[in-house]
């Protein structure tokens, strides 16, 4: 029987999760679901100054919103918990002590100033930077002497000569000469563990079989492998590594969380559907195998294999995300579109939550479903239905001051006033008949003033349908007022 696949997503939330993090989470999740394995969600929060409770909660919410459910992790627990590293400090301390006892690690008493001076020297001599092993073989007396001088010690891992080789599923065989992987710190002088220690210990204890993560962590892998070795893990039991390509921004620079628009919460607030974000991110570095780009979460799960992940960087293209989101909105059933739009509006506090308002939105949605790219367009498009009179927007005022505008509005008023049945066909018949056929106007010229008078904006839902929704009295009153 082959081993159960266990994949983990292990962010250090020092801010909102950004699209790069979520691309990793998505691939981890899709791989676990594709193989029928387990998806583990672990919070790497040993740096409690930068990783706050609020960011951790934000990460959990974002994962839930995206539908990336986990089998082990925060809120659900699991057999290898806790899944917050800050609650596992005793475990790291115990392993660090074991490494000291085994002489895989040693106390290093070098001060930050000494290390800085070493770096300077190495720079001058054109040598690779890194610890020179000065404290590797201190005797107990020398250690006591340093302690008496008031020095504190970090715990450092001994990196033997040689190299670390491993196969990365995306990149092929990778090797690191240890000349460039100096002895590294496991535990700070204050006793807190470093990432390399915590991540490797947890991957072993949580029986992780596959490490799919960002390419930026590739160079940390030989150090983690060194920790596995010190823990007595055999080479055949190392996890499989797959380092995902970088996600680049428009300017070809790596996307970073400093840029607000890479945060997933930002996309959520803008009214992107979670499945659009997942679908789009899935295409960053992976392809479903044919030209099809619009895929469902289930299709992603069915199709996701690591051999379809590319090694070259992927570029984040907001236009493509927009196109996918518009497609997915169009494909929703009307009930779903209403539910999701209304939930979004309420969640983002855009319109007061009551039945009457929901009904107004429900009446509008059918005529805008084909037209919107993101849900945040709905409130502006609905505004004309909520107010008694509309304010004409600034950009439309010039058009409304043209001479022919008055004639058009007067003619429209004359046509619509006598209508007994207020529906799309009648409105379209009389208005087209008079303005386009009789007066020979171009539709754009003819209908813009009516549109602006009725909705306040030259960009609005389809005109005749909007007039039907608004009702005869309000249409007449608005056109008359514009005149
Ligand atoms: N916690 C690390 C980070 O957020 C990632 C750990 C890993 O995937 O190995 O960068």
The verdict on the CB of residue 213 being under 6 Å from ligand 1 is: yes
Kindly indicate the confidence band of residue 48, based on its pLDDT and cuts at 50, 70 and 90: confident
- Structural domain spans, the chain: 6-85+247-315, 88-244, 333-386, 394-482
Mean pLDDT to the nearest integer, 281-303:
92
Q: Which of 6, 8, 9, 11 has most ligand 1 atoms within 8 Å of its beta carbon, as the pocket-test mutant?
A: 11
The verdict on the CB of residue 44 being under 6 Å from ligand 1 is: yes
Q: What would the pLDDT profile of 420-454 be if each residue is shown by its tens digit?
A: 999 999 999 999 999 999 999 999 899 999 999 99
- Choose the catalytic residue: 257, 320, 406, 424: 257
Q: What would the pLDDT profile of 223-234 be if each residue is shown by its tens digit?
A: 999 999 999 999
Q: Are strands 163-168 and 172-177 parallel, antiparallel or unpaired?
A: antiparallel
Q: Which residue has the higher pLDDT, 334 or 310?
A: 334
The verdict on the CB of residue 10 being under 6 Å from ligand 1 is: yes
Q: Which residue has the higher pLDDT, 195 or 248?
A: 195
pLDDT value of residue 450: 96
Given 3.40.630.30, 3.90.800.10, 3.40.50.800, 3.40.50.150, which CATH number is that of 88-244?
3.90.800.10
3 given a catalytic annotation: no
Q: Which of 217, 220, 255 has most ligand 1 atoms within 8 Å of its beta carbon, as the pocket-test mutant?
A: 217
pLDDT value of residue 401: 84
The whole-angstrom separation of Cα 234 and Cα 229 is 7
pLDDT value of residue 443: 92
Q: What would the pLDDT profile of 156-212 be if each residue is shown by its tens digit?
A: 999 999 999 999 999 999 999 999 999 999 999 999 999 999 999 999 999 999 999
Residue 250 pLDDT exceeds 80: no
Mean pLDDT to the nearest integer, 207-220:
96
Q: Are strands 163-168 and 38-41 parallel, antiparallel or unpaired?
A: unpaired
Q: What would the pLDDT profile of 398-415 be if each residue is shown by its tens digit?
A: 888 888 899 999 999 999
CATH class, range 6-85+247-315: alpha beta
**Domains 88-244 and 394-482 equal at CATH topology level:** no
The verdict on the CB of residue 212 being under 6 Å from ligand 1 is: no
Mean pLDDT to the nearest integer, 357-371:
97
pLDDT value of residue 476: 97
pLDDT value of residue 258: 54
CA 238 to mean position of chain CA atoms: 29
The verdict on the CB of residue 59 being under 6 Å from ligand 1 is: no
Mean pLDDT to the nearest integer, 272-277:
98
Percent of the chain at pLDDT > 70 equals 99
Atom number, ligand 1, closest to the C-alpha of residue 9: 8
Give pTM, 2 decimals: 0.92
Q: What is the mean pLDDT of the chain?
A: 94
Which residues neighbour 121 within 8 Å (Cβ) at sequence distance 6 or greater? none
Q: Which residue has the higher pLDDT, 92 or 291?
A: 92
Residue 260 pLDDT exceeds 50: no
The verdict on the CB of residue 199 being under 6 Å from ligand 1 is: yes
Residue 256 pLDDT exceeds 80: no
pLDDT value of residue 261: 65
Unique residue bearing structure tokens 């919107």: 372
The rounded Å distance from CA 346 to ligand 1 centre is 34
Given 3.30.9.30, 3.40.50.300, 1.10.10.350, 3.30.230.10, which CATH number is that of 394-482?
1.10.10.350
Q: Which of 10, 46, 211, 224 has most ligand 1 atoms within 8 Å of its beta carbon, as the pocket-test mutant?
A: 10
Residue 336 pLDDT exceeds 50: yes
Atom number, ligand 1, closest to the C-alpha of residue 224: 9
């Amino acid at each position: 029987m082959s081993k159960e696949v266990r994949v983990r997503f292990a962010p250090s939330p020092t801010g909102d999760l950004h699209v790069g993090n979520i691309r990793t989470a998505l691939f981890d999740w899709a791989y676990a679901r594709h193989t029928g394995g387990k998806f583990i969600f672990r919070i790497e929060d040993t740096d409690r100054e930068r990783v706050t409770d609020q960011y951790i909660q934000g990460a959990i919410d974002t994962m839930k919103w995206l539908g990336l459910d986990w089998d082990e992790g925060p809120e659900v627990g699991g057999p290898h918990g806790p899944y917050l590293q800050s609650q596992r400090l005793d475990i790291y301390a115990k392993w660090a002590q074991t490494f000291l006892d085994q002489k895989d690690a040693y106390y290093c008493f070098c001060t930050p100033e000494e290390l800085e001076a070493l770096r300077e020297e190495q720079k001058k001599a054109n040598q690779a930077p890194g610890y020179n092993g000065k404290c590797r073989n201190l005797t107990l007396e020398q250690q006591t002497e340093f302690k008496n001088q008031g020095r504190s010690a970090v715990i450092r891992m001994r990196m033997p000569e040689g190299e670390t080789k491993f196969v990365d599923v995306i990149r092929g065989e990778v090797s690191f000469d240890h000349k460039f992987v100096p002895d590294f710190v496991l535990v700070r002088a204050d006793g807190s563990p470093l990432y390399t220690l915590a991540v490797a210990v947890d991957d072993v204890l949580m029986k992780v079989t596959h490490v799919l993560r960002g390419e930026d962590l590739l160079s940390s892998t030989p150090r983690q492998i060194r920790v596995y070795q010190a823990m007595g893990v055999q080479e055949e039991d190392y996890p499989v590594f797959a380092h995902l390509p970088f996600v680049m921004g428009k300017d070809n620079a790596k996307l970073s969380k400093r840029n607000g628009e890479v945060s997933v919460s930002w996309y959520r607030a803008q009214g992107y559907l979670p499945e659009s974000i997942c679908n789009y991110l899935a295409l960053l570095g992976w392809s479903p195998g044919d030209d099809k780009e619009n895929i469902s979460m289930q299709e992603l799960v069915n199709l996701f294999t690591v051999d379809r992940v590319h090694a070259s960087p992927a570029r984040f293209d907001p236009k493509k995300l927009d196109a996918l989101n518009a497609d997915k909105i169009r494909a929703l059933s009307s009930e779903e579109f209403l539910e999701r739009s209304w939930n979004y509006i309420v969640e983002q506090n855009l319109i007061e939550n009551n039945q009457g308002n929901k009904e107004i939105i429900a009446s509008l949605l059918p005529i805008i479903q084909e037209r919107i790219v993101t849900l945040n367009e709905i409130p502006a498009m609905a505004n004309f239905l909520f107010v008694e009179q509309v304010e004409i927007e600034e950009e439309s005022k010039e058009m409304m001051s043209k001479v022919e505008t008055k004639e058009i509005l007067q003619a429209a008023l004359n046509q619509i006033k006598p209508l007994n049945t207020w529906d799309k066909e009648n409105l379209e018949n009389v208005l087209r008949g008079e303005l386009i056929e009789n007066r020979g106007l171009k539709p754009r010229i003819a209908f813009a003033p009516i549109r602006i008078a009725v909705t306040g904006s030259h960009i609005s839902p389809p005109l005749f349908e909007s007039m039907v929704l608004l009702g005869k009295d309000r249409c007449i009153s608005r056109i008359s007022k514009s005149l």
